[in-house]
Structure 1
Amino acid sequence: MRKISIISISLLLLVLTYILVRPQPEIISVSLISETAETTYIDNDSIRIFSDAIRTVKKVRGAVDVGPPTYRMNVTYADSEVVKFSLYLDFKSKSGFLINHSNSEKMVKLKESSSKELTDLLSKD
C-alpha cells in the first residue's frame, strides 16, 4: 500500500512539473485588424507584449454577449497554427479583454500591466 502511495505522489509531481515548465508555443506574428487598418507585428518587443498578454489572462465568469471588438487579432505560432481572437481595449482606462474565437462564449481579462503595455504600443501607431 505504501509503495502505491509513493508511486502515485511521484506521478502527480511529475505531471505538475510538466504542466508548469512545458514550453509555450512561440508566437512569430500578430495581425490586428480594425475598421480602418490592418497592422502586423513581428518585432521581438511587440511579440513579447502580446505573448505576455495572452499568457497571463484571468478568467471572467459566465458567458458573454458584447459588441464589435476594438481589433480582430490573428496570432501566428512557429508551428504555423493561427489562433483568432477578438481584442477589446479601453484606451482611457487602459483595460482590456480577449475572446478566443474557438470558445467565443468565454471572455478573459487582460492583466492590468499587459493592458497598459498593449494600449501604449497601439497608441503609437
Structure 2
Amino acid sequence: MRKIGIISLMILLVFIYILVRPNPEIVSVSLISETAETAYTDNDSIRIFKDAIRTVKKVRGAVDVGPPTYRMNVTYADTEVVKFSLYLDFETKSGFLIKDSNSEKMLKLKDRSSRELTDLLSKVSTN
C-alpha cells in the first residue's frame, strides 16, 4: 500500500509541474509570403501569435496541402526558432498551422485566433 501512495504522489507532482511550468516567451515572429517578409515584436502582436499557437487543436489523420499563405518563424527567448506553415483564409477568417518538425499533422486555429490573425495581417497588407 505504501508503494501505491508514493507512486500516486509522484504522479501528482509531475502533473502539477506540467500544469504550472512556465511557457517559453516568444520574442519575435516573422512571416514570409511570396512578396514580403514582416517581423512582429510588439506585445499585442506577440500575444495574438502566442494565443494562436497555444490554443490549436490537432486534426486527426495526415494532411496533404498546397503552399502556405505564410512561412512563420517563431523565435523564443532562449533563441529557439520553431518553423510553421500558416494557412489563412481571409474571407472566412479561418486557418491552421503545420509545424515543420511534424509536417503531417494539421493544427486547427481556434475561431478567435483566426479572426485576430487575419485582422492583424490585413492591417499590414493595407498599409
- Report the TM-score, using the length of structure 2 for normalisation: 0.95
Q: CA deviation at 1:76?
A: 0.4
Match of 2:82 in 1: 83
Structure 1 gap segments, 5+ residues each: none
State the Cα deviation string for residues 7-36 of structure 1 (Å, max 9, x = none): 111111101111111111110000000111
Q: CA deviation at 1:88?
A: 0.2
Structure 2 gap segments, 5+ residues each: none
Match of 1:106 in 2: 105
Q: Which amino acid aligns with 1:77?
A: Y
Q: Which amino acid aligns with 2:54?
A: R
Indicate the SS of the match to 2:104. coil
Match of 2:34 in 1: 35
Distance 1:70 1:54 in 2: 16
Distance 1:43 1:84 in 2: 19
| Stretches (4+) displaced over 6 A | none
Distance 1:22 1:93 in 2: 35
Q: How many residues align?
A: 124
Q: CA deviation at 1:105?
A: 0.8
Provide the aligned C-alpha RMSD in A. 0.6
**Percent identity over paired residues:** 78
